[in-house]
Amino acid sequence: MKKFKLELFVKIIGIGSASGLICVNDSLYVISDNSNYLYEYNLLNADLKKHLLFDNAAVNENIPKKMKSDFEAITKYEDDIFVVGSGSTMARNKMIQISEAEKTVLQNHDLTDLYLSMQYFAGISAEEFNIEGVIFTGEKWYFFQRGNGATAKNGIFTVDSRYFTQGYSLQYTSYKLPKIKKVTSSFTDAILVDDTFYFLASAEDSKSTYHDGAVMGSSLGTIDAKTMKLKKVVTITESYKLEGITLFKNTDKTLEFLLCEDQDSDVQEAQIFKLTLNK
């Protein structure tokens, strides 16, 4: 991986604990792991809108840990956006399908059976199962398992199915990711660009998928999408836990990504960074 530049791009007031984002034209869609909203931020006029995904009635922002749906992943295919729960508890198995044009919920998918199949297939305990990145190509789904449990099981589940309703084939590829400050890093999000997965991995000084730990930093890595082989991993910060990545610009000379930070707090402010890579 060649030279990179990481810089603060924008601070968005009104979003806390950002866990994923996608850029569509002039709009930035952001999710939070303790919120039931899809946030829409206009990059031209800095306007922020909130679209309710799942009405909890009592509270829909800064939701207590035991109650939250833990939306950790977001992806887009054609006209639809998909927001996905981590599966780290039985209450976190939702996938919400949204019309990008209308900003309305089309379907609430229950991923419980799929997640149980993944755990059994890969030999991952329920306590260590933690999906933090999802990609949908129209033909395949890629679910990125964050290995921030005691056994550090990082991996990618490949699922051949559209919506998991009439059977599917399942594959699992495991990865050993490098350490940051002597702490093993784990997947936090990914995006597919051409035939390469660009992924984020963060290191927290904790052996739990449920409890947060001290942040050691974050790295960017690449995986060949055809062979599923790990190519390179580079530490890009020793200060931030970066949990979301989206493609911003793809030019002849550079790739520009937008990244979001999860501060693991109730502060309603999201820091969005821009990462520029030389090709």
Beta bridge partners of 258: 246, 274
Predicted confidence at residue 162, as pLDDT, reads: 82
pLDDT along the chain (279 residues), means of 10: 89 95 97 96 97 84 90 97 96 96 94 96 96 96 93 95 82 96 94 97 72 83 98 95 96 96 82 95
Task: Count the residues in the chain.
Answer: 279
Predicted confidence at residue 256, as pLDDT, reads: 97
Q: Which of 155, 237, 159, 235 is nearest to 197 (CA)?
A: 155
Q: Which of 7, 17, 65, 10 is nearest to 37 (CA)?
A: 17
Domain ranges for the chain, please list them: 4-278
Predicted confidence at residue 166, as pLDDT, reads: 73
Sole residue written with tokens 């927001």: 83
Q: Are 202 and 243 in contact (CB under 8 A)?
A: yes
> How is domain 4-278 classified at the architecture level of CATH?
6 Propeller (2.120)
Q: Which of 67, 8, 65, 73 is nearest to 38 (CA)?
A: 73
Predicted confidence at residue 210, as pLDDT, reads: 52
Predicted confidence at residue 2, as pLDDT, reads: 65
Region at 37 (left for phi over 0; alpha for psi -120 to 50; beta for the rest): beta
Contacts of 69 (CB under 8 A, 6+ apart): 36, 54, 63, 85, 91, 92, 94
As a whole number of angstroms, the distance between CA 32 and CA 230 comes to 28
Predicted confidence at residue 41, as pLDDT, reads: 98
Q: Are 221 and 232 in contact (CB under 8 A)?
A: yes
Q: H-helix or E-strand containing 121?
A: helix 112-122
Residue 88 DSSP one-character state:
S
